Amino acid sequence: MRNISVIGTGYVGLVTGTCLADMGNTVTCIDIDTAKIAKLQRGELPIYEPGLKELLERNIDAERLLFTTDYPAGLREAEIIFIAVNTPTTADGSADMQYVRAAATSIAAHLDHDAIIVNKSTMPVGSGDLVSDIISANLAYPNVQFAVVANPEFLAQGTAVADFQRPDRVVLGSADRDAASRVAELYLPLRAPIMLTDLYTAEMIKYASNAFLATKISFINEMARVCERLGADIKEVAAGMGYDHRIGKYHLEAGVGFGGSCFGKDVTALAHMASDAGLHPQMLHAVLEINHDQRALIVDKVQTLLGDLRGTTLGVLGLAFKPNTDDMRDAPAIDIIHALVAQGAQVQAYDPVARETGRAAIGDAGVSYCADAYAAATDADAVIIVTHWNEFKALSPAKLRAVMRRPVIVDGRNIYQPAAMAKAGFIYHGIGRGTPATDAANAATPARPVMQTRMARRPSVYAQPPRTLPKTR
C-alpha cells in the first residue's frame, strides 16, 4: 500500500482520494479552501455524489483518509502526488491553468523527497511538460528526483464512484516508463485494461473521448429536429441505430443537450488547441453550436404552445445538468429559465437535490423554488422537463393534470410516451417525436399509411429555426 497525496478536493480529487483510500492506501487530500477542508474533516460532503459519503466516513474512521490545508504535512512521505484541481474555460476558450500552476509551484516549494507527480485533472496537451518545467524551476530541494505521469480521469458525475472502481480502462502516459508502471500498480486491484503511452497521447485520449461523446449527443439532437420535421420518432430511430455494435446505444438520447463541467469545456479547449495548431476544427464548433441551440428550442416550443409568455406560470422540473448530482455548472436549466423569465414568465422550479445549488446559479428573480414536483406544477400553464430524474418518470399524470392551469407538457428529455400523455389529456411536445400528440382523441386515431400521415400532418412546432439564446460564456 502507498502513501498518496491528492491536491484538490473537487469531484475528481475527492472521488479519487476516497476510492484510493478505500483500496487500502493512506491518502491525504490538500486544498486551500479552509471551510471545505473543515467540512470534510467532519465527514461532510461539499457535493452530492451517490455512494461517496459512505466511503468517505469509512476511510476517515479507519484513518486512511486525511484532509489538510498544510502542504508540508500533506506531502510528507507521499510517494505519488495527484494534481486534481479545476481547469475552467477562459474567455478565449482555452483551459485556465492557473490552479495547476499554483499546485505545481506549491509542490516544488515543499517536496523534500523523490516522488511521482500525476496529472489527474483534464489538462491541455503539453501540460505534462508544463508541470515538469514549473517544478524543476522552483524546487526548494534541488536533489529531489521526480517524474510526471498523465492519468486522465473518466468519471461521470452521478456514477463517479462506480466509474473509478470499475473503469473501462486506465490510461497512463509518461516519458518515464518506470514511473508510469509504478502508478499502474495502484490500479491493478481494479482488474481493468491499463494503457501505457507517451504524455501527449494520454492527454489527447481524454479530450478525444469527451469530444466524441459530445458529438454523439449533438448528432442525435440534430437528427431529432429532422425527425420532428418529417414525422419520425427519434426514440425509435436511436434504438434502431444503437443495435448496431459499431454505433452503440449510449449517448443517443435526444433532449436539451449536454451540460456540466466536462463536455462543453473540453470540446471548447480542444477546438482552441486545434486552432492554435493552425487547423479549422469545424465539427467541434458545430457540436457546441448545436448543443447551445437545443436550449433555445425548448423556449421556442413553449412560446409556440402558449404564445406571449407575459403573465404565464411555468413549472420547470429539474435544475442540475443531469440526474444524481447537484452540479449546476453549465446546466441547461440556467439558460432556459433565464430566457423564460426574460419573456415575462414566472417560473416554479423543483429539483430533488439541486434546490440550493440551483438557486445560487439561477437567482431568485422571477423564480420560486418548490418542495416537490406537484408544487412546481400547481397553477402552471405548462410544465417543462429539463432533467431526467427517475422521480419525474413516476409522477401521476392524473394528479399532475389536476393541479395545472393548462395541461401542457414540454418534455425536454423524452421521458414520457406521447400517446399515453395525450390519452391523459395533455398537450404533449417532446424532442423529435414526430407530429406532437395533443389530446386523447388524436391518440385514439387509427394509424394512417406512412405517406398519408406525412402529407396530412400538422406543421411541426419547430417549423422555423429557433431563436438563439444569448451565450452566457
Percentage of the residues of the chain whose pLDDT score is greater than 90:
91
185-203 pLDDT, tens digit each: 999 999 999 999 999 999 9
In a domain, 216, yes or no: no
Helix (H, G, I), strand (E, B) or coil at 447: coil
Q: What is the CA radius of gyration of the chain?
A: 25
Q: What is the spatial distance between Cα 91 and Cα 82, in angstroms, rounded to a whole number?
A: 27
Mean pLDDT of 448-458: 35
Query: Are 28 and 173 within one domain?
Result: yes
* 115 CB neighbour count, 10 Å cutoff: 22
Query: Are 255 and 135 within one domain?
Result: no
Helix (H, G, I), strand (E, B) or coil at 117: strand
Question: At residue 170, does pLDDT exceed 70?
Answer: yes
Q: What is the spatial distance between Cα 29 and Cα 75, in angstroms, rounded to a whole number?
A: 9
Query: Are 102 and 187 within one domain?
Result: yes
The runs of H, that is alpha helices, within 277-417 are: 282-306, 332-342, 355-362, 373-377, 390-393, 397-403
pLDDT at 449: 35
Question: At residue 460, does pLDDT exceed 50?
Answer: no
In a domain, 311, yes or no: yes
Domain holding 311, by residue range, is 234-456
In a domain, 473, yes or no: no
Q: What is the spatial distance between Cα 410 and Cα 402, in angstroms, rounded to a whole number?
A: 17
Edge-first strand order for the sheet with 382-385 is 367-369, 346-350, 313-317, 382-385, 408-411, 427-429
Domain count, the chain: 2
pLDDT at 459: 42
270-317 pLDDT, tens digit each: 999 999 999 999 999 999 999 999 999 999 999 999 999 999 999 999
Query: Are 192 and 255 within one domain?
Result: no
In a domain, 297, yes or no: yes
Query: Are 307 and 411 within one domain?
Result: yes
Query: Are 399 and 256 within one domain?
Result: yes
The amino acid that residue 156 corresponds to is: A
What kind and span of H or E run contains 4? strand 3-7
Q: What is the spatial distance between Cα 162 and Cα 175, in angstroms, rounded to a whole number?
A: 30
* 222 CB neighbour count, 10 Å cutoff: 17
Per-residue pLDDT band at 467 (split at 50, 70, 90):
low
What kind and span of H or E run contains 206? helix 199-230
For 157, phi then psi, to 5°, come to -60, 135
pTM above threshold 0.85: yes
Mean pLDDT of 127-156: 97
pLDDT at 1: 86
Query: Are 114 and 249 within one domain?
Result: no
Q: 287 near 215, Cβ under 8 Å?
A: yes
pLDDT at 356: 96
C-alpha cell at position 154 = 473518466
29-59 pLDDT, tens digit each: 999 999 999 999 999 999 999 999 999 999 9
Where a domain ends, among 197, 212, 245? 197
pLDDT at 149: 98
In a domain, 210, yes or no: no
If we measure between CA atoms, which residue out of 140, 131, 118, 148 comes closest to residue 72? 140
Residue numbers annotated as active site? 262
In a domain, 205, yes or no: no
Question: At residue 323, does pLDDT exceed 70?
Answer: yes
Query: Are 261 and 309 within one domain?
Result: yes
Q: What is the spatial distance between Cα 374 and Cα 400, in angstroms, rounded to a whole number?
A: 6
pLDDT at 434: 79
Question: At residue 401, does pLDDT exceed 80?
Answer: yes
Q: What is the 3-state secondary structure (H, E, C) of 145-156?
A: CEEEEECCCCCC
In a domain, 186, yes or no: yes
Cα 276 to the center of its chain, rounded Å:
26
Q: 348 near 381, Cβ under 8 Å?
A: no
- Enumerate the β-bridge partners of residue 117: 81, 148
In a domain, 337, yes or no: yes
Q: What is the spatial distance between Cα 299 and Cα 297, in angstroms, rounded to a whole number?
A: 5
66-115 pLDDT, tens digit each: 999 999 999 999 999 999 999 999 999 999 999 999 999 999 999 999 99
Helix (H, G, I), strand (E, B) or coil at 169: coil
213-265 pLDDT, tens digit each: 999 999 999 999 999 999 999 999 999 999 999 999 999 999 999 999 999 99
Mean pLDDT of 383-388: 98
Q: Across all residues in the chain, what is the average pLDDT?
A: 92
Q: Is 425 left (phi over 0), alpha (psi -120 to 50) or beta?
A: left
How crowded is the C-beta side of 35, counted as CA atoms within 13 Å?
1
pLDDT at 471: 53
